[in-house]
Amino acid sequence: MTLYNNFIGIDIGKYNFVVASYGSKDTKEYENNHSGIDIFMKDYKDMLSDSLYILETTGGYEMQLLLTLCEQNFRVHRANTRMVKNFIRSLGNAAKTDNLDAKALAFYGFERGERLELFKPQSEKAFELYELVQRRNDLKQMLIAEKNRIKSPRVNITKVSLDAVIEVISEQLEGISDQINDLIESDECLAVRKKIIKTVPGIGDIVANELLVLLPELGKLDRRKIASLAGLAPRANDSGTFSGYRRTGHGRNLIKPTLFLAAMAARNSNSELKVFYEKMINRGKKKMVALTALMSKIIVIANARLKYFGTEQLAIKI
């Protein structure tokens, strides 16, 4: 017996989102903002409670709608983009439009609905935290660009301007980091999860914050799924007697750079992770290969520790 009466696919864009219901040829488009989401909720009010909603991860543009649906206790699946694309290819459809993508998501929900995990925000502050983390990463990229410009040999005329901008961006980064820390510390569940994650060598405040916000599935999936979501699961490349080189695939946006920083810190720490890294180097592995393996080990360990302790154990002492 199916768990849902309706399957609704939503293709998210930066400014708009398109909605399609499985079994219907019609689609509807709404602005991807507060007023557009309100209109969508009113249009679909008769279907909301017994439907499964399927959205793709689209660089954060889905977060406001995703969290709004969750706040109303509607059932939502946040789909892995690569899995959905492979599903669409299996249908033999090479065309791509927003309407077709929304219909494909609805069909994906119909075909696999009973096996799809529902998205559950880990905090009421999830959207605010997500926006702050994204803004922090934007500012970080701006700071790197300005610091690169100030190294130019022709910088004398613009040095004063560059120094001023670097100072402002640095202050903004510090302020936003404080905001993120304060929000996490004010949420008992998130504060405990952060303490658990920080027990993994190489993970400090910034990495812990970003993993908590960008990878809320941490501690809820098995080791293979969490490594795949982070883009760190090696893919087999074998055929017959041929055994090809295994490579990691794409993962969720910003997770790999965050884990790379953790791996760099872990390889310099006095821990078993440093020993693991050095053993790989001594066996002749390239440094980048060893670091990638270390990144995978870090996320798997963090996932295992969160799963072991459980977020409900709020009185845990670490």
- The per-residue pLDDT for range 145-175, each reduced to its tens digit, is 999 999 887 778 888 999 999 999 999 999 9
Tokens for 94?
């090479």
The confidence band for 46, taking pLDDT boundaries of 50, 70 and 90, is confident
Mean pLDDT check: name the lowest of 18-32, 81-95, 255-269: 81-95
pLDDT at residue 233, rounded to an integer: 64
- Residue 242 has what pLDDT? 45
Average pLDDT value over all residues in the chain: 84
- H helices of 91-197, in order, are 98-112, 126-149, 159-185, 188-197
pLDDT, tens only, 76-111: 998 877 788 888 777 777 667 878 888 889 998 898
Distance CA(260)–CA(277), nearest Å, equals: 13
Helix axes 63-71, 34-43, angle to 10 degrees: 50
| pLDDT score for 309 | 73
Residue 239: its H or E element: strand 238-239
Q: From 189, 190, 217, 195, select the one nearest 312 (Cα to Cα).
A: 189
Residue 205 has pLDDT above 80, yes or no: yes
Lowest average pLDDT, out of 44-53, 175-184, 188-197, 278-287, goes to 44-53
List Cβ<8 Å contacts ≥24 apart for 146-153: none
Q: Indicate the pTM of the whole model.
A: 0.72
Task: Determine the pLDDT at residue 248.
Answer: 61
- Taking residue 121's Cβ as centre, other Cβ atoms within 10 Å add up to 17
Q: Are 165 and 212 in contact (CB under 8 A)?
A: no
Residue with tokens 């936003």: 176
Query: What's the per-residue H, E or C state across 296-311?
Result: HHHHHHHHHHHHHHCC
Q: Please compute the mean of the pLDDT values over residues 193-208 and round it to a whole number.
A: 94
Mean pLDDT across 274-283: 94
Taking domain 6-115, whether its CATH number is 1.10.1840.10 is answered by no
